[in-house]
Amino acid sequence: MGALCSVIRFENLQELRRLCHWGPIIALGVIAICSTMAMIDAVMWYWPLDTTGGSVNFIMLINWTVMILYNYFNAMFIGPGYVPLGWKPEKSQDCMYVQYCKVCQSYKAPRSHHCRKCNRCVMKMDHHCPWINNCCGYQNHASFTLFLLLAPLGCIHASFIFVMTMYTQLYNRISFGWSSVKIDMSAAKRDPLPIIPFGLSAFAASLFALGLALGTTIAVGMLFIIQMKVILRNKTSIESWIEDKAKDRIQYYKTGEIFIFPYDMGSKWKNFKQVFTWSGIPEGDGLEWPVRDGCHQYTLTIEQLKQKADKRVRSVRYRAVEDYSGACCPVTKGVKTFFTTPCTEEPRIALCKGDLILATRGLKHWMYGDKVLDSTTDGTKQLLLVLLQEANPYYSFSRIV
């Protein structure tokens, strides 16, 4: 019993450590600033104890904050759900249709992907979100999307309060002259006096909170639209990318295949219900999924295997000509290298001069690929993300023709 309690406390401590990251710190900071300033300004603009409208306004403001934090922490702490360690298809012959994860020592279930940040295979993985410091997937997709909806709505309400507070507080403080506009921020020229004094510092704080609220409304609102587009097609962001690559592969090789995405139920409402339910628990077990006619459980995984094979065929071999520590921002490699570093938390792999690299795809200055290990590891590849820098004027990597 004591050992079990220790394990539970350790797991809880590990979950709480998710808060110690720049993403949650910034997100919760923005929520705290906007919510606190909105409540203070609401008291100055529309005193909640005197009128029904003021009470409703204040209660709605608190309600936004509670619902935003509830869905935010659900998305963070409930998590996406992970493929059980050692999982494999019920029928042994189906193992040939799915990929094997060497890290988790199990097969990857349909719609699952391995997250290098979480170090687990995530069920129905959409993406790893730095703002919740966790993956968005099968179990928390609904909570994450609701957070993306409620945050802009709450910020719109807060923005309205900020604007009305600044307007009503400044209305009797501004005197228009023939040559200038004079603003008296010392005290309100009205009766009764405000409960909380509205001075220059309060005006600056309200203006700052207004900027945060408007910026959050635009940024998070765009993310919500993107999420709803994929949800209404019963896809994830990764699966949308896989579908695009499938079309490119078929067009490039002119195979005449017709790829049909298997999980689109043909109805936006049915697709919507795959994520959002009244109970809050998503349908299914995260391992098996309903598919449309003409498809089966492994339609997508077979396409992924074809794309993996195509990637190996198209890979280009490089040799490292300089040592690279794997630092996120390689300052010692020059200014140009520093400013072209991708904005991602994915790990860079350390390289030594002479290491062989198989680059599978690339951006303008960086490439992704596999590091080829030496003969002591039986010639196996290290299936980790590699970012190869080519922006440095001395070039850290040379192509082997």
- Catalytically active residues, by annotation: 129
Q: How far apart are CA 182 and CA 175, in angstroms?
A: 5
Taking residue 153's Cβ as centre, other Cβ atoms within 10 Å add up to 16
Q: How far apart are CA 198 and CA 148, in angstroms?
A: 32
Q: Is 1 exposed, middle or buried (0-12, 13-18, 19+ CB in 10 A)?
A: exposed
CA-to-CA separations, 90 to 107, 167, 231, in angstroms, rounded: 11, 66, 28
Residue 81 Ramachandran class (φ > 0 left, ψ -120 to 50 alpha, else beta): left
Contact by Cβ (8 Å): 42, 163: no
360 three-class SS: strand
Number of residues that make up the chain: 401
- Tally DSSP H helices, then E strands, for the chain: 9, 14
163 CB contacts (<8 Å, ≥6 apart)?
210
64 three-class SS: helix
Residue 134 phi, psi (nearest 5): -160, 170
Q: How far apart are CA 394 and CA 401, in angstroms?
A: 19
- DSSP state letter for 351: B
> Which amino acid is it at 251?
Q
Q: How far apart are CA 238 and CA 244, in angstroms?
A: 10
Cis ω before 290 (30° cut-off from 0): no
Q: How far apart are CA 36 and CA 24, in angstroms?
A: 18
